Amino acid sequence: MSNSYRVAILGATGAVGAELIELLESRNFPVGELKLLASPRSAGTSLTFRGETLAVEAVSETSFDQVDIVLASAGGSTSKVWASKIVAAGAVMIDNSSAFRMNPDVPLVVPEVNPQALNHHQGIIANPNCTTILMTVAVWPLYQVQPIRRIVVATYQSASGAGAMAMEEMKQQALAILQGETPKTDIFPYPLAFNLFPHNTPINEFGYCEEEMKMIHETRKIFGVNDLRISPTCVRVPVLRAHSEAINLEFDQPLSVEKARDILSTAPGVELVDDSKANYFPMPIDASGRDPVLVGRIRQDLSHPCGLELWLCGDQIRKGAALNAVQIAELLVEKQLLGLRR
């Protein structure tokens, strides 16, 4: 990655935007010029990159001129507004929203799982949902050794999944409750502090919420297995940062706990945390601010000879969002997949 590239971050003032800036610097991405873009109300804010203070600009029709990569994390509606203009300007858009994930012409990429999908991009690349990213990083290495028939997963999703304002709201709710006051709920529909509730995205006719359906459809697309059976239950929990997932896997044939541990101990993007003697397994507090998906509590499913159970924790803002996007950008540079349409 010897050349330098012109990079724009759309949604620079949000929680993921801040993490994108930090990752571009800490991973030494070859940024020649960095543009920080946001809504007009956030314009004028100052942020730091490589010791230089940069002003956040209001996104406009000319924001993407001469830009090579746009890291978008400003929500689906914003991505839809600007996507065609980004592509028309000759840039590649790596989008963190759900706007284009299920578009058959848009690669949905987890670099540890399906990097080859980038070869066919047409200017837009989608970042999967956070829970999908974490699950696929842990499950894919096992799937490659032994085909999986069914995945049953329960997620324990932190406040960070709803953004910086949601994280702050949970802090304020905790303070209010401890002081005997009624907690305010502006971001979440119910108090999250000292509480939990099923994910509050819309429920379909089958009783599954939108967040759960994302895990089903996105995992099938990433794995390239349209009939993979997946049953998710998504829950919001009073954790500030980092999601957790309890996963039950049903394989075609038995896969031993020892073999699964061996596979995951060297799997890219995974850190094995599986100390049964000390009863020490992945925790959100250990995953927060870190890149790997922590995996442990690997055990035989006592109800099924071909079943395994595992538990994981991963930082939703890093691997679940910003890190995955930066890794995609790194692959685009490595594979020389930028600037092909100029």
Q: What pLDDT shows up at residue 63?
A: 96
pLDDT in tens, 293-335: 999 999 999 999 999 999 999 999 999 999 999 999 999 999 9
Alpha carbon distance 66, 189 (integer Å)? 42
pLDDT in tens, 180-229: 999 999 999 999 999 999 999 999 999 999 999 999 999 999 999 999 99
pLDDT in tens, 8-67: 999 999 989 999 999 999 999 999 999 999 999 888 899 999 999 999 999 999 999 999
227, part of any domain: yes
293, part of any domain: yes
CATH number where 113 lies: 3.40.50.720
215, part of any domain: yes
Please indicate, yes or no, whether residues 149 and 295 belong to a single structural domain of this protein: yes
Q: What pLDDT shows up at residue 164?
A: 84
Please indicate, yes or no, whether residues 21 and 119 belong to a single structural domain of this protein: yes
181, part of any domain: no
Q: What pLDDT shows up at residue 261?
A: 98
Alpha carbon distance 308, 324 (integer Å)? 27
Find the angle CA(340)-CA(32)-CA(6) to the nearest 5 degrees.
40
Containing structural domain, residue 245: 132-158+196-314
Please indicate, yes or no, whether residues 137 and 237 belong to a single structural domain of this protein: yes
- For residue 302, give the 3-state DSSP assignment: coil
Model confidence at 137, in pLDDT bands (50, 70, 90)? very high
Alpha carbon distance 166, 172 (integer Å)? 10
Q: What pLDDT shows up at residue 342?
A: 43
Alpha carbon distance 139, 151 (integer Å)? 9
Model confidence at 341, in pLDDT bands (50, 70, 90)? very low
Annotated binding site: 13-16, 41-42, 101, 157, 160-161, 183, 210, 236, 316
Mean pLDDT score, 130-145: 98
Annotated binding site for phosphate: 101
- Round the average pLDDT of the chain to a whole number and report it: 95
Please indicate, yes or no, whether residues 200 and 296 belong to a single structural domain of this protein: yes
- Using a cut of 0.85, tell me whether the model's pTM lies above it: yes
Q: How many domains does the chain have?
A: 2
Please indicate, yes or no, whether residues 121 and 149 belong to a single structural domain of this protein: no
CB distance 180 to 224 below 8 Å: no
Please indicate, yes or no, whether residues 270 and 252 belong to a single structural domain of this protein: yes
Please indicate, yes or no, whether residues 284 and 203 belong to a single structural domain of this protein: yes
184, part of any domain: no
CATH number where 295 lies: 3.30.360.10
Q: What pLDDT shows up at residue 1?
A: 44
Model confidence at 339, in pLDDT bands (50, 70, 90)? low
Please indicate, yes or no, whether residues 104 and 31 belong to a single structural domain of this protein: yes
CA dist 199 → 21, 131, 137, 274 (Å): 29, 12, 22, 28
Please indicate, yes or no, whether residues 141 and 261 belong to a single structural domain of this protein: yes
Alpha carbon distance 105, 107 (integer Å)? 7
Q: What pLDDT shows up at residue 129?
A: 97
Tokens standing for residue 277: 């003697």
167, part of any domain: no
283, part of any domain: yes
- Enzyme catalytic residues: 130, 243
Annotated binding site for NADP(+): 13-16, 41-42, 160-161, 183, 316
Largest CA distance in the chain: 60
Please indicate, yes or no, whether residues 99 and 248 belong to a single structural domain of this protein: no
Please indicate, yes or no, whether residues 201 and 286 belong to a single structural domain of this protein: yes
Evaluate the CA torsion angle 113, 161, 156, 213 in order and state its sign.
negative
Mean pLDDT score, 286-298: 98
Model confidence at 340, in pLDDT bands (50, 70, 90)? low
Residue closest to 159 by CA, chosen among 235, 89, 96? 235
Please indicate, yes or no, whether residues 209 and 299 belong to a single structural domain of this protein: yes
Query: In the predicted model, is pLDDT for residue 287 greater than 60?
Result: yes
228, part of any domain: yes
Alpha carbon distance 41, 16 (integer Å)? 18
